[in-house]
Chain A
Amino acid sequence: MMTDNGDITTASVIAPPRSEVGVIGWLRTNLFSTWYDTTMTVISLVVVVWLMWFGLTWAFGDAEWRVIGTLGGQFIIGQFNTESACPGQNCFWRPQVGLLLATIVLGMAWGVAGGGTAKKVALAVAVVAAVMSLIPYSFERMGMDVRILLVANIPAVFLGLAITRYTPWREVKHVAIVGVASFLLTLFLLRGVEGLPGMHPVSVIHWGGLMLNVLLAVAGIVLSLPIGIGLALGRRSQLPVVKLLCVAFIEIFRGVPLITLLFMSQVLVPLAFPENFPQNSLFRAAVVITLFSSAYMAENIRGGLQALHPGQAEAARALGLSGWQITFLISLPQAIRNVIPAIVGQFIALFKDTSLVYIIGMLDVVEIGRAFIQGNPEYLPSARELFIFLAIVFWIFTYGMSYVSRRVEDHLRVGTR
């Protein structure tokens, strides 16, 4: 109004006071708005500075990081390449090739997604793997070939990328096929076969380290989502028998701690099979972890389905879609998109839960460290360093997962209001 009259020009509008904008303004509103706020700021600052000072002087002064170097590559592959697991041979290349296959799949994912988060993840994994070749490992019988295999992760990513660029394999389903095939091939490589050179069979009890956590988590993540979807649909089914079965399954698995289930799987399940039946404790653990995670997944997805407006299904029915089409083309995609944070939260929980396999005697990355401390009491004072290291390792993985989930969420939110 006033500018219309020409009485007050834009230039004569008084600028906000210096104390309300810029750095000072930010400090005033965010740190020193009231006496109470100022007190909190001062206390928090003291805490932060003390924590940082204490943490840094400890980490670079008193801390004994020797235990990390002593265990070295055992954190990654456990006892896989020891003399008892793989006598007289170098078996280290087998997990390495598994990693190469994984980076190829990540490269393909990058190609299919066309950059973005997939690109960052693929490159980060490859670079970290390549950099690891520079770390002096304490692996017995680790030759040059292993370092080459580690560095080869970088070309492997670009190989995956090239596959999507220059061959017809450039769709999501192709990545899925190659991914599943690579996973099975990796399992085969790790297990080995009798008679082939360099493929000495390695019993699953020697699989360990971070490799074991990742294998269990990947298998669990890939399988628990479809099983969870099935259970969620079953729980919402109008068929009383199906509903009852699904509710019973979900509630039993959710009501009992995973550790109890794992232990039960080791004591009870073998009894259900003939005595000479080939038993595999790792397989049983993987099944239990997957089923346990599926029960939680089912509840997350059920939440998403319940939050969906019934008008969606009604509209789809009015358009003449069949029951299956409504479920898989209308309801599920929207329900899953709405509960992505909860689903990824469950994936993260599953990854953290893989550390529980210690109860069946598997040496995962945590148990490898703990067993070492337990067996070598002279390292007892280094336990702090060990578990801080393990915490950081897990944190990188889980935080990475939640980061990717946030990006996927943002990506899928496009087009919704």
Chain B
Amino acid sequence: MAQMTGLLTYQGIPVWRHAQIIQWATQIVSGFLAVVLVLWFFLNIGGAIQDRNIPYGFSFLDREYQTPIGHHFLPYESSDSFLYAIGVAATNTVVVSIIGVILATALGIAIGVGRLSGNWIVSKLALAYVEFFRNVPLLVQLFFWFYIFLALPPVRDGFVFFESLHVNNAGVSVPWPVPPDVGMGLVWLALALAGVIAGIIVHRFLLRRETMTGKTSYPVIYGTLTTVGIGLVTWIALMATAGESPFVISYPEQQGTFFRIEGGFTAPAGLLALLIGLVMYTASFIAEIVRAGITSVGKGQTEAARALGLSNLGLLRHVTFPQALRVIIPPLISQFLNLTKNSSLAGAIGYSDLTNVAKTMTQTAPPVSIFILIMLSYLAMSLAYSLAGNLYNRYVRITGA
């Protein structure tokens, strides 16, 4: 009763100006509205699915896809299931994005450093590159490269260099090492990995020795030698024991009445145009990030390094870059993500990436389920890049004082 009277004779801040009440009201109203909106959207879609007899659910994943995929890095047959086909398409996107990221970073760093070059012509050329390639839509660039490939002569009259490099309007074919069987392929993969890891360990050990003792140790040279050496030794050992080369090099050759190219590795025109376009476009953004990172390193650092007698390259490699990396990494990761997402333009130039295959799949499978799957795939890729970036960022961060 006393409480009631207290409520009735409430003399404090008016309700409509009471901060806590307003905050709670905002939260409840916005949360409620969002839930209602999302529910309305999906319930309506659910209703439409039932009314219009649109298929739904995920049972289609085990069914045979029955549609060819233009180009695939994993082995694929039309009789494979939908689930596997999505995996094949996702692999295409992942491979394109990894190759693209590596090449775009290399080109971007070169151009970003060129932007800061003391050489007037070099810096202006780099500026022209950046201003042109980042201001033109990627789609236009992709079409440009794609139609350049299409304008090449057909396979029958295509260019052949050294009897092994085929260039024609279907793409570019190069010789490719092929292991005799899957087991040997895995052995080579493991060896390559072991070689690279051993090379890195040697490099780090020598670099540490160089830093600690000042003794010149050539870490890059010895690291590379270790990697190459491991490969060479095992190759010779396998040759000696098995009596035959552990892998054969398959050369592309024109065959059959339609002059199809068999053997080797053929990168279709769509894939090449996609990679060239993505790399040149993304490199222009990376160049600006690299430039901003390098300019963020204090001038005193450069001057001190020069006073110590470091060469131009040594200055960049040992003083400027390690410090610039901290500024560069976060926006660089977001460029990697952009490259991955931009690879979804592949459909425009006929390359079968995840989005393009998913688009085709919606004709024979429930679109809602397909969309959920590809959204999850892209979100997973974003997360993977963010995670890798954050880990690396932690590694290059200034630790302690």
CB distance from A119 to the nearest CB of B (A): 23
A395 touching B151 by the CB < 8 A rule?
Answer: no
Q: Within 8 Å CB of B358, what residues of A?
A: 260
Closest to A402 in B: B135
- State whether the Cβ of A279 lies closer than 8 Å to any Cβ in chain B: no
- State whether the Cβ of A329 lies closer than 8 Å to any Cβ in chain B: no
Given contacts A256-B341, A370-B143, A267 and B371 within 8 Å (CB-CB) = yes
Give the A-B pair count, Cβ closer than 8 A: 154
Q: Within 8 Å CB of A245, what residues of B?
A: 30-31, 34
B147 touching A30 by the CB < 8 A rule?
Answer: no
A273 touching B137 by the CB < 8 A rule?
Answer: no
Find A395's partner among B135, B138, B368 (CB 8 Å cutoff).
Answer: B135
B117 touching A255 by the CB < 8 A rule?
Answer: no
Find B125's partner among A48, A271, A353 (CB 8 Å cutoff).
Answer: A48
B136 touching A239 by the CB < 8 A rule?
Answer: no
- State whether the Cβ of A318 lies closer than 8 Å to any Cβ in chain B: no
B136 touching A40 by the CB < 8 A rule?
Answer: no
Q: Which of A40-88 contact B (CB under 8 A)?
A: 40-41, 44-45, 47-48
Q: Within 8 Å CB of B23, what residues of A?
A: 238-239
Given contacts A260-B378, A268-B371, A383-B150, A366 and B31 within 8 Å (CB-CB) = no
Q: Which of B336-361 contact A (CB under 8 A)?
A: 341-342, 344-345, 347-348, 355, 358-359
- In Å, the complex CA distance between A272 and B46 comes to 8
Encode contact with A along B15-51: 1 for CB under 8 Å, 0 otherwise.
0000000010011101100100000111011001100
- In Å, the complex CA distance between A398 and B284 comes to 15
Q: Which of A101-145 contact B (CB under 8 A)?
A: none
Encode contact with A along B349-389: 1 for CB under 8 Å, 0 otherwise.
00000010011001000011001001100110010000000
Find B131's partner among A264, A359, A373, A399 (CB 8 Å cutoff).
Answer: A399
A391 touching B27 by the CB < 8 A rule?
Answer: no
- In Å, the complex CA distance between A201 and B312 comes to 66
Q: Within 8 Å CB of B99, what residues of A?
A: none
CB distance from B56 to the nearest CB of A (A): 11
A395 touching B344 by the CB < 8 A rule?
Answer: no
A45 touching B121 by the CB < 8 A rule?
Answer: yes
CB distance from A302 to the nearest CB of B (A): 14
A366 touching B147 by the CB < 8 A rule?
Answer: no
- State whether the Cβ of A380 lies closer than 8 Å to any Cβ in chain B: yes
- State whether the Cβ of B228 lies closer than 8 Å to any Cβ in chain A: no
Given contacts A256-B378, A358-B348, A44 and B139 within 8 Å (CB-CB) = no
Which range holds the interface residue count of chain A?
A: 35 or more
- State whether the Cβ of A226 lies closer than 8 Å to any Cβ in chain B: no
Closest to B313 in A: A36
- In Å, the complex CA distance between A271 and B348 comes to 25
Q: Within 8 Å CB of B345, what residues of A?
A: 259, 356
- In Å, the complex CA distance between A52 and B220 comes to 39
- State whether the Cβ of B218 lies closer than 8 Å to any Cβ in chain A: no
B137 touching A394 by the CB < 8 A rule?
Answer: yes
Q: Within 8 Å CB of A267, what residues of B?
A: 362, 367, 371
- In Å, the complex CA distance between A37 and B312 comes to 11
- State whether the Cβ of B132 lies closer than 8 Å to any Cβ in chain A: yes
Encode contact with B along A351-373: 1 for CB under 8 Å, 0 otherwise.
01101101100000010001001
- State whether the Cβ of B183 lies closer than 8 Å to any Cβ in chain A: no
- State whether the Cβ of A169 lies closer than 8 Å to any Cβ in chain B: no
Q: Within 8 Å CB of A381, what residues of B?
A: 151
Q: Within 8 Å CB of B144, what residues of A?
A: 383-384, 387-388, 391
- State whether the Cβ of B187 lies closer than 8 Å to any Cβ in chain A: no
Find B45's partner among A259, A272, A384 (CB 8 Å cutoff).
Answer: A272
- State whether the Cβ of B118 lies closer than 8 Å to any Cβ in chain A: yes
CB distance from B338 to the nearest CB of A (A): 9
- In Å, the complex CA distance between A256 and B375 comes to 6
- State whether the Cβ of A197 lies closer than 8 Å to any Cβ in chain B: no
A interface list, Cβ under 8 A from B: 29-31, 33, 36-37, 40-41, 44-45, 47-48, 238-242, 245, 252, 254-260, 263-264, 267-268, 271-273, 275, 348, 352-353, 355-356, 358-359, 366, 370, 373, 380-381, 383-384, 387-388, 390-391, 394-395, 398-399, 402
Cβ contacts A to B, 6 pairs, < 8 Å: A241-B31, A257-B378, A259-B347, A355-B137, A366-B143, A394-B140
B interface list, Cβ under 8 A from A: 23, 26-28, 30-31, 34, 40-42, 44-45, 48-49, 52, 54, 117-122, 125, 131-132, 135-141, 143-144, 147-148, 150-151, 312, 341-342, 344-345, 347-348, 355, 358-359, 362, 367-368, 371, 374-375, 378-379, 382
Q: A272-B41, A373-B147, A402-B135 given. 6 additional CB < 8 A pairs?
A: A31-B119, A267-B367, A271-B48, A352-B137, A395-B135, A398-B135
Please give me the 4 A-B residue pairs with the lowest Cβ-Cβ distance, nearest first. Answer: A383-B147, A257-B344, A387-B144, A352-B137
